[in-house]
Structure 1
Amino acid sequence: MSQTSGAVSTARDYYNSEDADSFYSLVWGGEDIHIGLYESGEDAIFDASRRTVAHMASQLEGLASGTQVLDIGSGYGGAARYLAKTYGCHVSALNLAEVENQRARKLNQEQGLADKIEVIDGSFEKLPFPDASFDVVWSQDAILHSGNREAVVAEVSRVLRPGGQFIFTDPMQSDNCPAGVLQPILDRIHLQSLGSPRFYRAAASQHGLKELGFEELTR
């Protein structure tokens, strides 16, 4: 595994832990570990999480059997399996937690998708791929765990092909968030900071990415 920031190493330890694996596999539904889109308070976590994946996929142009997708921070690989099943995409699912990756490989095999999904142990701060390798880079609620988010955006830009698309979700702080107000939350989730829309826009622009859309889901 490539050298990573302290924040990424902390996340790796957490997601490799028995407590985290038990929680996400048993309580969260075993397919996804990201935040879901809820239509009512009665929605199951599994269904809401699946809704997020479907909504994101609907925002992308040209998904098809020849599309090469990179999912960074892929967790149990639920999004990769959805993209492979629904659109026939080939997905490289890169994730830092070996425990999650073992479960993802097992699920891929059980669902007959091992030929369409490659699960890779690694960090999104230094992607182990050549330049211009992917049509789509996808990420869900993962980049917050990086201690160098600009490096992640730079790596995404590097591995995207000309005209490629980068779609991601991430818990963020507002552009005008008062200093210190989020510290109790940051302490609880072992982070130094959160990104913001302003930060991601600036990083994307600096590394040659053009914004196509932004959707805020604060309620």
Structure 2
Amino acid sequence: MAETTEVSLERYRQLAAGDDSARSGHYRDLVTSYYDLVTDLYLEGWGASHHFAPLKPGDSHVDALAARQRFLAERAGLCPGMTALDVGSGVGGPALNIAGISGAHVTGLDLTPGRVERARGRARELGLEERTTFVHGDAMYMPFEDASFDVVYAFEAICHTADKDRTHAEIARVLKPGGLSIGYEWLAGDGLTDGERRRLVEPVCRYYALPHLTTPGGLAEQLRRAGFTGVVVGDAEATGDLTATWDYLDQLADLGEQFDDSPVRKFMVQGARALTRAAREGAFLIEFWEARKPGTLPGRDS
């Protein structure tokens, strides 16, 4: 018999309730349980691209997400004939958009089987089956051969992995020599006190299926340990100002509070409040990164 929503939510809460070490020990169950609960409401309230983007005056939420994806595709130099891997591809929003605008072939990798199936369905609906492939798998144990991709990117997904050093090492492994690792990541602020982490970061981890959050300095070191060069973390133009985005998220939370039809909706409203509170106090960040694997891509000058 299938679990009720209430039982599933309680099971997720129990998985999320431990400390960083405990959550890391059962990260697969943590992440898949979370997305099984929230994906339908994500699609309802946020669309198919499950990440954040700066909101500029006059732009819609959908416009902002598309602009973020276009910026990344252009910054990565994606074009026809190139191959890209989307780590944590979800229901396929960014992968399908980037494949459509760049002409590159995009492979999506996601830990949650249901989201992979949704992405494949959306690829069929959009006529992008030849330009995309969606694979069920773990970013810490990628099911791809060495040197398979020109670019590996992620939109706020590596934060769900338990061992981020291993994940970046896997990205380096599947990149071709000279290939680019690029994306956006959820981070905790550098220099937080233990009390600030408990009060502000820990609730974000528990509401959003995060084993733990690294910091900007930690991310830069992880990239260097994986062998990358030219490491950039926190480019101001690429990252953008998310203040208006947090206002928008609070507006959605206000709207969600008007409904009492779903315990999951109430849970998501509480999570949104925790996220915007941590962001406004500087304890939670979303930062851009890019780094290159040593070597030269075929067809490029050294």
Sequence identity of aligned pairs in percent? 29
Q: Relative to structure 1, is the Cα distance of residues 76 and 190 closer, same or farther in structure 2, using a 3 angstrom cutoff?
A: closer
Q: Relative to structure 1, is the Cα distance of residues 34 and 121 closer, same or farther in structure 2, using a 3 angstrom cutoff?
A: same
Please state whether the residue corresponding to 1:176 is helix, strand or coil: coil
Please report how far the alpha carbon of residue 212 of structure 1 lies from its aligned counterpart in structure 2 after TM superposition. 4.7
Does the CA contact (< 8 Å) of 1:8 and 1:145 recur in 2? no
> Where do residues 40-189 of structure 1 align in structure 2 (5 Å cutoff)?
40=57, 43-61=59-77, 63-181=78-196, 182-189=201-208
Does the CA contact (< 8 Å) of 1:172 and 1:195 recur in 2? yes
Root-mean-square deviation (CA), in Å? Answer: 1.9
Match of 2:31 among 11, 20, 25: 11
* Cα distance in 1 for residues equivalent to 2:118 and 2:203: 32
Alignment pair present for 1:24 and 2:42: yes
Please state whether the residue corresponding to 1:213 is helix, strand or coil: strand
Q: Relative to structure 1, is the Cα distance of residues 204 and 128 closer, same or farther in structure 2, using a 3 angstrom cutoff?
A: same
Select between 187-196 and 64-73 the one with higher mean Cα deviation.
187-196
* Cα distance in 1 for residues equivalent to 2:70 and 2:192: 30
Q: Which has the larger radius of gyration?
A: 2
TM-score, with structure 1 as normaliser: 0.89
Match of 2:54 among 28, 37, 44: 37
Q: Relative to structure 1, is the Cα distance of residues 100 and 91 closer, same or farther in structure 2, using a 3 angstrom cutoff?
A: same
Richer in helix (by share): 2
Q: Deviations over 1:7-48 (max 9, x none)?
A: 24311111122xx1221211112x2111122113x6433222
* Cα distance in 1 for residues equivalent to 2:42 and 2:175: 30
Does the CA contact (< 8 Å) of 2:91 and 2:115 recur in 1? yes
Does the CA contact (< 8 Å) of 1:130 and 1:159 recur in 2? yes
Please state whether the residue corresponding to 2:228 is helix, strand or coil: coil
Q: Deviations over 1:96-134 (max 9, x none)?
A: 112211211111111111011111011101000111111
Match of 1:199 among 206, 218, 221: 218
Does the CA contact (< 8 Å) of 1:16 and 1:98 recur in 2? no
* Cα distance in 2 for residues equivalent to 1:43 and 1:75: 24
Please state whether the residue corresponding to 2:107 is helix, strand or coil: strand
Does the CA contact (< 8 Å) of 1:5 and 1:146 recur in 2? no
Please state whether the residue corresponding to 1:170 is helix, strand or coil: strand
Select between 5-14 and 98-107 the one with higher mean Cα deviation.
5-14
Does the CA contact (< 8 Å) of 1:108 and 1:114 recur in 2? yes
Q: How many residues align?
A: 211
TM-score, with structure 2 as normaliser: 0.65
